[in-house]
Amino acid sequence: MAVTITTPRPVTFPSNGIPIAGHLYTPSSSAPDRKGAAIVVGHPMNGVKEQTAGLHARKLAEHGFVTLAFDAAYQGESGGEPRYLEDPAQRAEDARAAVTYLTTLTEGEPKVDPKKIGALGICASGGYIPFAAQTDLRMRAIATVSAACLGSVARSGIKYTSAAITAATLTQNLNYANALRTEEARGGAHGKPQLAPVMPDPHALPPGLPSSSAEGAQYYRTPRGQHERSVNMTVARSVDLQANYDSFAFVGMLAPRPLLMVVGEKADTAYFSEEAFKRAGNGAVELFVVEGKTHVGLYDGLEESLPKLVRFFGENLV
């Protein structure tokens, strides 16, 4: 019997005083009864809730979970200035705020059991959500897909690829970010922050580009995953908010709660999940490798990852 799914309901909730826009997915009556289990779903850097986060939220709802995909602060339909700032501290707070919102849904439809809330992070949110969960024990089960730590990316680039950077380059980037702050304060560019593109033109890719960037350009800037509110821009000075951030330094704090890290066999970002898996120690942590998949290939290729995520949340939340 085919499972029908209701249209997601637009919702808004606060995060550090910033209104966060979300899509709340309610399972249909024909979906499995998960007894109030719910999952927050965070999107990648440069993404919005209607892209891979929304796809994962919808598919998980079809399997009986209440799900909440949301736009991070400064992104999409959420509030916050300056637009397109990428701030790890705020991103982690957005995840906590999403959990807080779900805990208020104890009456009516959908009804959420506050003791059965999990979290799923994709790409950059695969770093932000485990980071938030280290101190937010309401996240009872944590999963990532193609996890990445933007702090590490700011410090080192994508390691083992042509996009790796040196400490000297990091210093240059920080000096540039600091100079942009001064320029804004002095009214340069009308006091507005300078924006920088995230992904290159998919029709003019530089040679030797890491696959995560090359396929990312194809996902975000073609009909494959393109969305009008995913504008392919970030505040250029965001790097000085990211460079001393580490998603996984204290990943062991998640124990004894379960952690599932889904990674593509061909992902050039696989080392993030592999290193986090080792750091997590003896907790209930699993590294699930999907053969043949790249970093971005898991954004919309859910044939193997979705059943694994459904089992993981079903076993650990219900």
Q: What are phi and psi of 146, to 5 degrees?
A: 50, 50
pLDDT at 318 over 90: no
Question: Mean pLDDT across the stretch 145-157?
Answer: 98
pLDDT at 131 over 50: yes
Question: Mean pLDDT across the stretch 196-211?
Answer: 94
**Beta bridge pairs of residue 196:** 234
pLDDT at 116 over 70: yes
Give the model's pLDDT for residue 108: 86
pLDDT band of 130, cuts 50, 70, 90: very high
Give the model's pLDDT for residue 132: 98
CA separation (Å) from 44 to 64, 113, 169, 203, 204? 24, 27, 24, 22, 23
pLDDT at 314 over 90: yes
Report whether 142 contacts 130 (CB < 8 A).
yes
Report whether 125 contacts 70 (CB < 8 A).
no
Q: Quick one: which of 121, 148, 122 has its CA closest to 132?
A: 121
pLDDT at 3 over 80: no
Question: Mean pLDDT across the stretch 2-11?
Answer: 76
Q: How many residues does the chain have?
A: 318
pLDDT at 2 over 60: no
Question: Mean pLDDT across the stretch 230-250?
Answer: 98
Q: What does the pLDDT look like over 152-176, one tens digit per residue?
A: 999 999 999 999 999 999 999 999 9
Give the model's pLDDT for residue 218: 96
Question: Mean pLDDT across the stretch 286-296?
Answer: 98
CA separation (Å) from 244 to 53, 150, 241? 26, 10, 7
pLDDT at 139 over 80: yes
Q: What does the pLDDT look like over 82-106, one tens digit per residue?
A: 999 999 999 999 999 999 999 999 9
Give the model's pLDDT for residue 281: 80
Give the model's pLDDT for residue 6: 67
Name the burial class of residue 129, with classes exposed (0-12), middle (13-18) and buried (19+) by CB atoms within 10 angstroms of its CB.
Answer: buried
Give the model's pLDDT for residue 1: 41
Task: Locate 139 and state its tokens.
Answer: 């996240």
Mean pLDDT score across all residues of the chain = 96
